[in-house]
Amino acid sequence: MEEIRGSDFASPETMRDFISFYKRLSGQQEPIYPIDDFFGMGKAWVAFRHDDVVQILKDPRFLKNMRSLAPQQNEQKSFESNDSVSQIIEWLNNMPNMLTVDPPDHTRLRRLASKAFTPRMVEELRPRIQQIADELLDAVMEKGEMDLIADFAYPLPIIVISEMLGIPTADRNLFREWTHTLGNAALMPGREAEVAATFEEFTRYIKSMLADKRKHPGNDVTSKLVEAYDEGDKLNENELLSTIWLLITAGHETTVNLIGNGVLALLNHPDQLRLLQSDPSIIPTAVEELLRYVGPVIITSRVAGEDITMHGQEIRKGDMIVISLGGANLDPNKFANPEALDITREENEHLAFGKGIHLCLGAPLARLEAQIAFATLLGRLPDLHLAIEPEQLNYHLTTLRSLVSLPVKF
């Protein structure tokens, strides 16, 4: 039995071939098993079976609040082996949003943000998303080639979420680097100064934007959150800053990678690509299968809020749980022939957006953007194919399945 290390969850080998990594996960003797260290955060438990993952995500005893990370019986524990982890944990503690807190704060913050993501409001975005997708392809059609990430998968969702939040066009690309640096600080020990500088830049920018929205409010999500803040007691300044950060990050990062990973999966499975090209009506079903098969979010985490026994294992209060969403989506006890890409798969209770109270708020928007993206790409670029060999592709160092670039020709 090959030992699993924390770094394996973000290794280039895992990103290139997650199915092989899943076989290592499922080959462990225990369904819930410990690893010695997870990116400098100490011991953690790993869960990868679909039923176990659902149970943990829905169990209120497993918490999101990072303050619970250090066990009470060992309050002096620090993360000296990775100062970037200490810094990002301190940041998360001081900058709470609905993804990092538990009820009742989670309930309050999610209710405020959810007003921008109702089914009706998302559906009203359809014409604009289609317009953006067409304009992005118009810009590259004469070239006959593009980097699908830089030229299409990234600008599509960043334009949409920026317009929703009222972020000026000239500032959109700032957030790409900021999200990569802050979101992956735990994976990059020794870069504390860069993390601190990035956080300062982001905070300065958002505070300036908030001041502008107070003077010149618009019909955008940021203006509405400022209004809620000014009314008092609904959210404090740090919650306001962190909520906007979360909406910017989550509002584009996962969709970028869903489009990129999904196109690559289709190109690597030409039978499925031809099937989708011949019958665009199954695009919604295909998107769900791509979410299962190459969903961007490979792992998430929780902290045990009390002593809990699972499968005979004693999980102590304060212990960290690494939850393999990618592994759960390949569980043969839940999915027939899970290692096969089947865009006609009907029974598809994947966990790409999580489960329980922290289910991704932007899931309807991500689905709509992906459906429009794939329909537009396949409809307008019938000869879409890779411009390089698959083994030449590179992935970002992150726990997201995230391609650096995807050169294609058409």
Q: Which of 62-66, 123-127, 180-184 has the highest mean pLDDT?
A: 123-127
Q: Which residue would you say has higher pLDDT here, 111 or 292?
A: 292
Of 59-73, 98-112, 318-332, the one with minimum mean pLDDT is 59-73
- Note the pLDDT tens digit of each residue in 306-328: 999 999 999 999 999 999 999 99
Class in CATH terms, 6-409: mainly alpha
Assess whether pLDDT exceeds 80 at residue 266: yes
pLDDT of amino acid 76: 36
- Note the pLDDT tens digit of each residue in 201-247: 888 998 999 999 999 999 999 998 888 887 765 778 888 888 888 88
Q: Residue ranges per domain, the chain? A: 6-409
Displacement of CA 355 from its chain's centroid (Å) = 13
Task: Report the C-alpha gap between 111 and 121 in whole angstroms.
Answer: 15
Q: What phi and psi, each to the nearest 5 degrees, are found at residue 24? A: -65, -40
The label of the residue with tokens 């913050």 reads 109
pLDDT of amino acid 155: 95
pLDDT of amino acid 186: 61
Q: What phi and psi, each to the nearest 5 degrees, are found at residue 46? A: -115, 130
pTM for the model: 0.91
